[in-house]
Amino acid sequence: MIFGIHIWSCTAESNLNVLSMKQKMSIRILYNASYNAHTEPLFKASEILPLMDLCEFFKLQFMQKFTQGFLPISFNDTWVSNKIRRAGQEQIELRNSEDLDIPFARLTTTSRHPLHNFPKLWASFGNEQIKFTRNII
């Protein structure tokens, strides 16, 4: 289920909802629960992340590896900081100069694309302590 999750989780919500329903159905089968039982306690008991949380986890893990330089060199210039993007302009020290530049997305389809979605998710993730931890686990 997690193979290539970085890419296929950028699909439309309707496609992800189908997979999420299948995951919920399978966890109910594992616990022999009724068809309409709440799945949150079942996920917690089995220590399995629900699909939407799983997608977010792997995207954040990817961005953590990117910011710390643990990805292959082909990803080095995928996203740039605001400071590098504004290199040709007058250099005023801004508080968001070290943040990643999030490209503008006019359409919903474009906003789901990894080039837009990953840095936006990374910027919205609030736990700064986890962002800069060297241990991925």
pLDDT at residue 127, as a whole number: 79
pLDDT at residue 85, as a whole number: 67
**Does residue 28 have a pLDDT over 90?**
yes
Distance CA 127, CA 129 (A): 5
Tens of pLDDT, residue by residue over 80-131, are 877 766 666 666 666 666 778 788 888 988 899 999 999 999 888 887 777 7
Q: Alpha helices of the chain — where are they, by DSSP H?
A: 5-8, 13-30, 40-46, 51-68, 82-85, 108-111, 114-124, 128-131
Instruction: Identify the band that residue 56 occupies on the pLDDT scale cut at 50, 70 and 90.
Output: very high
What's at 121, amino acid-wise?
A: L
